[in-house]
């Protein structure tokens, strides 16, 4: 494909790279979709007839068969949900897509409600009774699944209450979440620059923050702020509603802290997360140290918030999508030909959607579907180095999800904390390969700085975002509905300690929490990124120590998916102990090494008169 001149409004350097969803269904009106939903509902009703009121009295063998049946009946509904959400992500502006997603979610709720009795009866068993049946080797394959349902024991409600919550969430929480997507994907930003006004999408205006021209970056920041402010009333209302919805659910489900349900879902305890967060906060000095270096390299005094993503002198220009594909597959292949083969399928079998399109969801993701199918990757490829890294990142997810399909529908997906393992690892492989190939010290310095900025965005920024969310939920619970300006203050208060005096965060920057989807879609998601990055640095250290012997152990870790709690899998597969509070300091020390390398490289360039 060509990357000839394109205006901000066309499809970008990955023009034509669209996914083919026909492995799921031929079209939104494919009769197979409706048939799948009918089949799932019929399966759910059969399941109910067979097991309602009898879960406690099942033998281990019968219980294993019940879980198999539950998995089988969930497959067609998962297929329909995958298709509807991917179709919607690809074009949120088409009202038929929103309508399909809504309908499938409503049907899925009906199916879920029909079988919810199973989990409720299972958690109602006493610990002794559950332990007795779980000890049976016939249940070995389902032990983790059944045990992990029981961790919600203190937090489930009665069956009518659960059904009510499930059904009303389609017009409550899920509807607000979708409204946020529809509003943010349709936002337009007026960029005033060099006497012209350009009408840009969120993706496009954000990409202008990476431009070398400071005036253009400043104009892009102003355009983003103005667009967000204009919609602050609506988006702020969505935030307030969802934060309060969570407060109500937490109260009803007896969660004492806003983060508690996330920790439970992540199969991690609060103390381990706090150890991670505070270990990172103790090293905020690295962020300030790096941005002081960056200011020097850019020849600027103090950096403004819109200077954070300014490119450095050695940064290379636009990369075609074909080039990005080659770089990523080569880097994966150096590490493991098996991983490269899996990643190559995504390109060749059209499981990637990379072009820019109006109405397409921003950002990037990889979505697992059914174990017998394959994941799909969405990105918005604009051609900079960051996008190459995003491709490496999402394919890491894709490879991880592909390998873990052997665990079946219920255990193929990992908790969020280890979900970022292969993605961040993939980015590191690409970074290392680029560093190996590059001989020009100026380009090497730019690559190193790019890696540092990514790592900081993944570690420290996510910790600051978690602290922001903590303060947001606490403030809403204590003060009632929050004015956007109040949330701006919380956002700035959480971000300022990270930069110290190295970057000036303006009042305008205060509005920038408004477009971050994680706060809306998955509260307290963000710490998983910091967890993932620091875990990956530890894994890389293992790889450097062990060489090729590490590769099959790593692949086995990925293939284990969500079949056990992360601390157990990491201990058993690769010998890492993440319950040790000092564990996180190892990865942070590696980041400090990278900062020192960048400083040294900058100094040697300066003494050679080339900086």
CA 251 to centroid of chain Cα atoms = 27
CB 147 within 8 A of CB 246: no
Residue 156 Cβ, how far from Zn ion at the closest point, in Å? 30
CA–CA separation, 288 and 277 (whole Å): 17
Nearest to Zn ion of 306, 393 (CB atom): 393
491 closest CA partner among 468, 519, 466: 468
Nearest to Zn ion of 75, 427 (CB atom): 427
Q: Indicate the DSSP class of residue 361.
A: -
CA distances from 284 to 44, 276, 280, 535, 537 (A): 51, 13, 7, 18, 18
Nearest to Zn ion of 378, 574 (CB atom): 378
CB 51 within 8 A of CB 58: yes
CA–CA separation, 253 and 319 (whole Å): 49
Nearest to Zn ion of 231, 423 (CB atom): 423
Torsion sign across C-alpha atoms 281, 282, 288, 290: negative
Nearest to Zn ion of 113, 458 (CB atom): 458
Residue 383 Cβ, how far from Zn ion at the closest point, in Å? 20
User: What value, to the nearest 5°, has the Cα angle with vertex 526 and ends 524 and 529?
Assistant: 140
Residue 60 Cβ, how far from Zn ion at the closest point, in Å? 37
DSSP output for 183-214 = HHHH--EEEEETTEEEEE-HHHHHHGGG-S-H
User: What value, to the nearest 5°, has the Cα angle with vertex 541 and ends 539 and 547?
Assistant: 95
Nearest to Zn ion of 402, 423 (CB atom): 423
Residue 172 Cβ, how far from Zn ion at the closest point, in Å? 27
Nearest to Zn ion of 40, 536 (CB atom): 536
Nearest to Zn ion of 111, 391 (CB atom): 391
Residue 424 Cβ, how far from Zn ion at the closest point, in Å? 7
Residue 366 Cβ, how far from Zn ion at the closest point, in Å? 7
Residue 398 Cβ, how far from Zn ion at the closest point, in Å? 11
Measured from each CB, the residue nearest to Zn ion is 423
Q: Which residues contact 94 (CB under 8 A, 6 or more apart)?
A: 359
User: Pairing mode, if any, of strands 352-353 and 376-378?
Assistant: parallel
Upper half-sphere CA count for residue 160 (Cβ side, 13 Å)? 0
Residue 396 Cβ, how far from Zn ion at the closest point, in Å? 8
Nearest to Zn ion of 231, 266 (CB atom): 266
Residue 420 Cβ, how far from Zn ion at the closest point, in Å? 5
Residue 393 Cβ, how far from Zn ion at the closest point, in Å? 6
Residue 579 Cβ, how far from Zn ion at the closest point, in Å? 24
The secondary structure of 286-304, three-state, reads HHHHHHHHHHHHHCCCCEE
Name the residues that contact Zn ion, by CB under 5 A.
423
Alpha helices in 355-483 (DSSP H): 385-403, 416-419, 421-437, 441-458, 460-479
CA–CA separation, 176 and 246 (whole Å): 12
598 closest CA partner among 425, 386, 456, 423: 456
Residue 365 Cβ, how far from Zn ion at the closest point, in Å? 7
Nearest to Zn ion of 142, 397 (CB atom): 397
Nearest to Zn ion of 60, 392 (CB atom): 392
Torsion of CA 531, 289, 386, 574, to 10 degrees: -30
CA–CA separation, 239 and 515 (whole Å): 10
Q: Indicate the DSSP class of residue 448.
A: H
CB 351 within 8 A of CB 375: yes
Upper half-sphere CA count for residue 503 (Cβ side, 13 Å)? 27
Helix (H, G, I), strand (E, B) or coil at 256: coil
Nearest to Zn ion of 371, 396 (CB atom): 396
Nearest to Zn ion of 175, 367 (CB atom): 367
Residue 437 Cβ, how far from Zn ion at the closest point, in Å? 25
Nearest to Zn ion of 210, 400 (CB atom): 400
Structure-block tokens of residue 440: 């020009």
Residue 397 Cβ, how far from Zn ion at the closest point, in Å? 6
Nearest to Zn ion of 382, 414 (CB atom): 414
Alpha helices in 187-284 (DSSP H): 202-207, 214-230, 232-252, 260-265, 270-282
Q: Indicate the DSSP class of residue 2.
A: -
Residue 581 Cβ, how far from Zn ion at the closest point, in Å? 25
């Amino acid at each position: 494909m060509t990357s000839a001149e394109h205006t901000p409004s066309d499809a970008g350097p990955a023009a034509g790279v669209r996914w083919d969803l026909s492995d799921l269904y031929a079209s939104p009106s494919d009769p197979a979709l409706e048939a799948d939903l009918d089949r799932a509902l019929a399966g759910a009703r059969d399941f109910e007839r067979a097991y309602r009121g009898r879960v406690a009295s099942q033998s281990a063998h019968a219980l294993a068969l019940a879980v198999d049946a539950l998995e089988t009946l969930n497959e067609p509904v998962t297929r329909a949900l995958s298709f509807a959400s991917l179709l919607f992500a690809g074009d949120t502006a088409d009202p038929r897509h929103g309508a399909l997603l809504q309908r499938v979610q409503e049907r899925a709720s009906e199916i879920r409600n029909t079988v919810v009795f199973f989990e409720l009866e299972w958690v109602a068993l006493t610990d002794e009774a559950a332990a007795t049946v779980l000890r049976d080797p016939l249940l070995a394959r389902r032990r983790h699944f059944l045990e992990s349902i029981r961790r919600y024991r203190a937090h489930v409600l009665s069956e009518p209450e659960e059904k009510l919550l499930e059904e009303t969430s389609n017009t409550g929480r899920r509807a607000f979440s979708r409204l946020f997507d529809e509003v943010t994907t349709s936002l337009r930003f007026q960029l005033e620059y060099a006497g012209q006004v350009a009408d840009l999408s969120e993706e496009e205006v954000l990409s202008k923050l990476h431009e070398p021209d400071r005036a253009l970056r400043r104009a892009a920041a102003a355009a983003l702020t103005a667009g967000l402010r204009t919609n602050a009333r609506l988006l702020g209302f969505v935030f307030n509603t969802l934060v309060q919805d969570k407060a109500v659910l937490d109260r009803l489900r007896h969660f004492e802290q806003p983060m508690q349900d996330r920790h439970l879902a992540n199969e991690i305890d609060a103390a381990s997360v706090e150890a991670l967060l505070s270990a990172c906060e103790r090293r905020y000095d690295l962020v300030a140290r790096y941005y002081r270096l960056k200011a020097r390299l850019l020849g600027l005094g103090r950096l403004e918030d819109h200077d954070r993503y300014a490119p450095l002198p050695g940064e290379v220009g636009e990369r075609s999508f074909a080039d990005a594909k080659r770089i990523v597959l080569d880097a994966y292949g150096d590490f493991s030909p098996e991983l490269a083969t899996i990643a190559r399928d995504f390109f060749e079998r059209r499981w990637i959607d990379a072009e820019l399109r109006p109405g397409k969801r921003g950002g990037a993701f990889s979505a697992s579907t059914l174990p017998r199918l394959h994941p799909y990757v969405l990105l918005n490829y604009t051609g900079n180095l960051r996008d190459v890294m995003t491709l490496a990142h999402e394919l890491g997810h894709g490879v991880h999800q592909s390998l873990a399909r052997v665990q079946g529908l219920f255990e193929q997906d990992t908790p969020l904390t280890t979900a970022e393992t292969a993605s961040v690892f993939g980015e590191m492989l690409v970074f290392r390969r680029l560093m190996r190939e590059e001989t020009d010290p100026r380009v090497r310095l730019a690559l190193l700085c790019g890696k540092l900025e990514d790592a900081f965005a993944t570690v420290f920024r996510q910790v600051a975002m978690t602290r922001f969310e903590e303060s947001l939920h606490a403030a809403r619970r204590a003060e009632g509905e929050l004015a956007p300006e109040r949330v701006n203050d919380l956002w700035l208060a959480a971000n300022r300690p990270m930069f110290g005096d190295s970057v000036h965060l303006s009042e305008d920057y205060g509005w920038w929490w408004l477009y971050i989807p994680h706060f809306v879609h998955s509260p307290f998601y963000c710490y998983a990124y910091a967890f993932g990055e620091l875990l990956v640095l530890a894994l890389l250290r293992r790889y450097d120590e062990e060489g090729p012997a590490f590769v099959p152990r790593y692949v086995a870790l990925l293939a284990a998916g969500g079949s056990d709690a992360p601390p157990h899998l990491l201990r058993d597969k690769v010998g890492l102990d993440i319950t040790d509070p000092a564990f996180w300091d190892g990865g942070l020390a590696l980041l400090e090494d990278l900062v020192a390398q960048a400083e040294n490289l900058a100094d040697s360039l300066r003494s050679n008169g080339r900086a």
